[in-house]
Amino acid sequence: MITSMTGFGRGEHSSNGYQVTVEIKTLNSRYLDISVRMPQSIQDKEIKLKEFVQKEISRGKVNLNINVDRTKSAGPAIKLNEELVKSYSSILRDLRSTGNIDEPITVRDLLQFNDIFETRKEDEKEVRVIWECTENALKSALENLNTMRKNEGQELKSDLSNLVTGISKQLDDVIEISDKRAPEVREKLQTRIKKMISEEQIDPDRMEMEIALLVDKMDINEEVIRLQSHLKFFLEALEAAEPVGRRLNFLCQEINRELNTIGSKANDSKVAHHIVLGKEKLEQVREQVQNIE
């Protein structure tokens, strides 16, 4: 199945006071490149996260963003550093005594020290909950991402099929023109042979060489057969179940090579016109193929 390399997926999952949101964005890339942004509590799961993604995506640039939020039932995310509070209180009392200050120490005074509060680290149980939520949210995000990529892939498949069929039609016109030119080519060949025969001295080697060169130059049958084969393989690849982006890219190169050779060997303005039209369609094909996994 044709799958686009570009897409977006989002998934959420909540449990025991935690809500995890996973967002995945994929872009075109020659190879698989996975970038992960995650909270500190599950940093050690990065390799496992990438393995999850690799099972679903074979090529492209993947940006994975994981966000963890506490719900009300999880309680506050910060805690009081009791040791610091005691230390600051002692310092303030010493300051009050040394400066003969009558005013009592208040909570407002202690709140001037920002580091008396610190982020509460999750315990092992909470980390397990966060990871379970992450797995479920990631699964949902990947499903949504793949749905989007497959839908876009079907549109690409339809467009590519029409373009390749268009190239094939241009090739049919080239074949028709070449068949009609056969008598003209034969006449040119006969004229050149008669001219060489009419000369006082005939060089048999030169005559054979001239005939061989002329025939080879104007005969596009081999190139036509190869091009028809490449176009056939391209359409078949669009129906394949596995990722075919690299295969399609290679076939584009081969199709382009045969189109160039036919245009060069035919040496005919009408043929050249159809070759140009075919190459225009091929350029659109190549642009679309860059989006395919």
Enumerate residues 6+ apart whose C-beta is below 8 A from 290: 28, 249
Q: In the chain, which stretches have pLDDT less than 50?
A: none
Per residue in 231-287, pLDDT (tens digit) is 999 999 999 989 999 999 999 999 999 999 998 887 778 889 999 999 999 999 999
> How far is residue 25's CA from residue 98's CA, in Å, rounded to a whole number?
61
Least Cα distance to 152 among 60, 42, 33 occurs for 60
Residues 252, 31: Cα–Cα separation, whole Å = 19
Tell me, what's the pLDDT at 167? 96
Whole-angstrom Cα Rg for the chain: 36
Cα distances from 212 to residues 92, 114, 215, 220, 282, in angstroms, run 105, 91, 5, 14, 32
Distance from chain centroid for Cα 166: 25
Q: Which value, to the nearest 10 degrees, does the dihedral of the CA atoms of residues 68, 72, 77, 80 take?
A: 180
Say what percent of the chain tops pLDDT 70. 83
Report the pLDDT value the prediction gives residue 217, as an integer from 0 to 100. Answer: 59
Instruction: Provide the 8-state DSSP code for 43.
Output: G
Q: What residue spans of the chain are helical by DSSP H?
A: 46-56, 82-98, 107-110, 124-198, 204-218, 221-237, 245-266, 269-289
Looking up tokens 């839908």 gives 151
Question: Are 61 and 26 a contacting pair, CB within 8 Å?
Answer: yes
Q: For residue 248, what pLDDT is reported?
A: 95
Q: Which residue is it, tokens 């990871």? A: 131
CA distances from 35 to 60, 65, 110, 197 (A): 11, 8, 42, 74
* pLDDT for res 77: 63
AA identity, residue 260: N
CA max distance for the chain: 133
pLDDT of residue 98: 83
Domains detected in the chain? 7-74+123-149 (3.30.230.70), 78-119 (no CATH), 152-289 (no CATH)
